Chains A and B, each alone.
Chain A
């Protein structure tokens, strides 16, 4: 089954690179370089997955997410950026992206990430897993909503494996659970990340500009 992909990317060279790399199984149905073009283009083409650059000339990827998800909630987003700054990563994830990968990702891995986002999974890079562990670290102050403000022991374990560079399959083998269960845990973490009001999260992201 062909995955219909929409590219939101203001760097023309990079966009054409991704276009040629994706190859079989993917169809690039549109391309936009600004927030306004992106919102219009995605609404018009209703792609399966939007590859979204975090920084755009007239705004941020989070702007695109907010506007598109308000009208087309079924579109899935995978954020793609050269920036590894924690605040950028957290901002797009909280705006509704299903995953985050950096632009230095290998072509095969990018194709795999797009396919997984298309299937409804969350795609966590090792660095994103590290950010989440860091953001949810510590127990003080007491969480307001333990359901959302804390990670379970298992979720923490899964994130640690991702941060160590393990693929979902390998994590499943290490923890003696199914790959599907690993995905369930990661999706749960994504949900917490998007919904938590854990107040340190925003502060943490802004004073921790990790590279």
Chain B
């Protein structure tokens, strides 16, 4: 599963558009903010950055959703500078190649973006510790966020670069006569502010999400611990106090049933739901608890309970109890299939079986009650058995037309 290791995955956790920048950042150990800014600057060079981004998105693999949210790699200012130099080199190349929006736009933008990168690359270990604390306490000020070595210095230098970029932009476009245009100047200022504060707002948003995710995780863990304590641990304690093997198996089976129900989101077996499957499961659990056979229920399809289906469930119960008490078999197989026009049920054991004409009175009564009950509800039941051949009770009830 490691043959694609050389390709990078888009990031599932750190994404603005598709997670490409986050993925590259994770792969190379660079702050994704730097990667994003590099894409922005390159986009100004005739849209090359956009092409690169699309190509990277296509080449990358889908994010690994199961991956635990990784803390974004921290980057040194050195790395930011090296990426900046690479971008500058590429820009110079593209300028020569003619893929260019003009000196008056690209260089000021590059300066401003460089400033932003200087401010927002994360510094050192102090920052990690801060991240830990941020999960419990929301920071409110910019100086709290711009952290690491020489935070203040970086803030000043970055801000200076951004202002310089804006100034260059305004002066170099003087020929267009735009400096006199007040709305344009305001727009430039807004862009400047966005470049300075944008990453901060973005990061704040990420922290809120992360904090919430962590809280949900903790709540889930607490709920699970509480449930396991109430059920599994109690049953294990009971099993340790029991000497009777049959009793142990019974306890283990009941607990298994309950735990499965909980894990797979089914209603607890104690209260029968209003579907056939739920009712049948409840009945099987109940018979298992009282008579301790192993009952395997296989269902195909499901339907709502009406009088006929309820009668079928009762008859199945009689058949299960019967098998548990008299057959001597370890297990009972129950198979119920819901078809368009009818529901069929089979309760089978591989026990001793019996001869129909030589059964004790009480047992014949049960067989009669199964057959009688089904017939009264418009269905049919048949008990197939031979001494030594096991027993199978076949039942069928037509479904009410809806």
Interface residues in chain A, defined as those with a beta carbon under 8 Å from any beta carbon in chain B:
35, 59, 63, 67, 84-85, 104, 106, 126-127, 129-130, 133-134, 137, 160, 163-166, 209-211
Chain B 298-321 residues near chain A, CB threshold 8 A = 298-301
Q: Which 7 A-B pairs have the closest CB atoms?
A: A165-B333, A130-B298, A211-B260, A164-B335, A209-B264, A164-B346, A163-B335
Q: How distant is B217 from chain A, measured CB to nearest CB, in Å?
A: 20
Contact A209 B337 (CB under 8 A): no
Please, how many angstroms separate the alpha-carbon atoms of A165 and B78 in the complex?
70
Q: How distant is B288 from chain A, measured CB to nearest CB, in Å?
A: 13
Contact A59 B299 (CB under 8 A): no
B265: interface (CB < 8 Å)? yes
Q: What are 17 pairs between A and B in contact, CB < 8 Å?
A: A67-B1, A84-B260, A85-B264, A126-B298, A130-B298, A130-B300, A134-B301, A164-B298, A164-B346, A164-B392, A165-B296, A165-B331, A166-B348, A209-B264, A210-B299, A211-B263, A211-B264
Contact of B261 among A59, A63, A211 (CB under 8 A): A211
Contact of A211 among B266, B300, B331, B392 (CB under 8 A): B266
Please, how many angstroms separate the alpha-carbon atoms of A132 and B392 in the complex?
23
Contact B1 A127 (CB under 8 A): no
Contact B300 A126 (CB under 8 A): no
Q: A164-B392, A209-B265, A211-B264 are in contact. Are A137 and B300 (CB under 8 A)?
A: yes
Q: A164-B333, A209-B265 are in contact. Are A130 and B1 (CB under 8 A)?
A: no
How many of chain B's residues touch chain A, expressed as a range?
20 to 34
Contact B298 A127 (CB under 8 A): yes
Residue in chain A with minimal CB distance to B392: A164
Q: How distant is B63 from chain A, measured CB to nearest CB, in Å?
A: 18
Q: How distant is A131 from chain B, measured CB to nearest CB, in Å?
A: 9
Please give, as numbers and ranges, the residues of chain B lying within 8 Å of A165 by CB-CB distance: 296, 331, 333, 335, 348, 350
Among A35, A127, A165, the most chain B Cβ lie within 10 Å of the Cβ of A165
Please give, as numbers and ranges, the residues of chain B lying within 8 Å of A211 by CB-CB distance: 260-261, 263-264, 266
Contact B296 A133 (CB under 8 A): no
Convert B223-238 into 0s and 1s, putting 1 for each residue whose CB lies closer than 8 angstroms to a CB of A: 0000000000000000
Q: How distant is B202 from chain A, measured CB to nearest CB, in Å?
A: 34
Residue in chain A with minimal CB distance to B345: A164
Contact B264 A130 (CB under 8 A): no
Please, how many angstroms separate the alpha-carbon atoms of A165 and B392 in the complex?
10
Please give, as numbers and ranges, the residues of chain A lying within 8 Å of B260 by CB-CB distance: 84, 211
Please give, as numbers and ranges, the residues of chain A lying within 8 Å of B300 by CB-CB distance: 130, 133-134, 137, 163
Chain B 1-43 residues near chain A, CB threshold 8 A = 1
